[in-house]
Amino acid sequence: MRCRERVVRETAAVRILALDVDGVLLDPERSADGHWTNELERRYGITRVQLRQAFFTRSWDDVVNGRLDIEPALWAALEEIGSTVSVDDVLSCWFDADFVPIEKAISFAGAAAAAGVRVVLATNQEHRRAAYLADRLGGLFPLDAVIYSADLRIQKHDASFFELASERLGVESSERSSVVFVDDVELNIGQARRAGWRAVHAPPGADWIRPVASELGLEGRARQ
């Protein structure tokens, strides 16, 4: 009887599911519509190349690491491009156009939460989009926390992200294998494992739900 209790307890120990956003919960190619900047160009005439050169190449690293707010950085980029579109309009277009849920992933996140698993986001984001995602994704399934780079001031390619995330989640060093992490970037997977998290790589088109369900003891909820 004691052996059985130990097995049940060890199986139940994995209770946190940490999910990347873009490429895991959201489709960055938006099905057949392509990158979200296609919508930005359609609405406002700002091309992907223009935005990359004036904003992402110049300022994104500081923005996503929490060293610079997105509003002044984007305002400067729009001024350089010569666009009169407001920062808020660009952000609204970006966030809304880029929000294309992967239905089976959303369904599984909801099933995991219903089974008592703490479902959290672990993502490289700046403050405005992190808040947007917390609201929108939190309306689709019970979301326990959002752990993101601008808040921690470090991105997932550094193992320190997962050290700090463990602290935010209240996970002791000896309990880090209780976290199952899903990401589409292999480097992030390696850093999570170095920090003691369990991690499942989810490249485009891969079936990550079944191995994650197995890690969580939720095989019957892995609906494809």
Average pLDDT over residues 210-221: 86
pLDDT band of 14, cuts 50, 70, 90: low
Average pLDDT over residues 89-114: 97
Reply yes or no on whether the pLDDT at 220 is more than 70. Answer: no
Q: Which residues pair with 183 in a beta bridge?
A: 201
Of all residues in the chain, the percent with pLDDT exceeding 70 is 92
Q: What is the pLDDT of residue 32?
A: 80
CB neighbourhood size of 34 (10 A): 12
What distance in Å separates the CA atoms of residue 39 and residue 34, rounded to the nearest whole number? 9
Cβ–Cβ < 8 Å for 91, 74? yes
pLDDT band of 7, cuts 50, 70, 90: very low
CA 99 to chain centre: 12
Cβ–Cβ < 8 Å for 11, 115? no
Reply yes or no on whether the pLDDT at 9 is more than 50. Answer: no
The sign of the dihedral angle between the CA atoms of 124, 223, 214, 116 is positive
Angle at 47 between CA 44 and CA 48, to 5 degrees: 130
Average pLDDT over residues 60-70: 98
Q: What is the pLDDT of residue 206?
A: 87
What distance in Å separates the CA atoms of residue 29 and residue 24, rounded to the nearest whole number? 12
Q: Give pLDDT tens digits for 138-156.
A: 999 999 999 999 999 999 9
Q: What is the pLDDT of residue 223?
A: 56
Domains of the chain: 2-26+101-221 (3.40.50.1000), 37-97 (no CATH)
Q: Give pLDDT tens digits for 157-166.
A: 999 999 999 9
The token pair at 222 is: 């892995």
Q: Give pLDDT tens digits for 118-128.
A: 999 999 999 99
pLDDT band of 222, cuts 50, 70, 90: low
pTM above 0.95, yes or no: no
pLDDT band of 3, cuts 50, 70, 90: very low
Of all residues in the chain, the percent with pLDDT exceeding 90 is 86
What distance in Å separates the CA atoms of residue 19 and residue 192, rounded to the nearest whole number? 12
What distance in Å separates the CA atoms of residue 64 and residue 56, rounded to the nearest whole number? 10
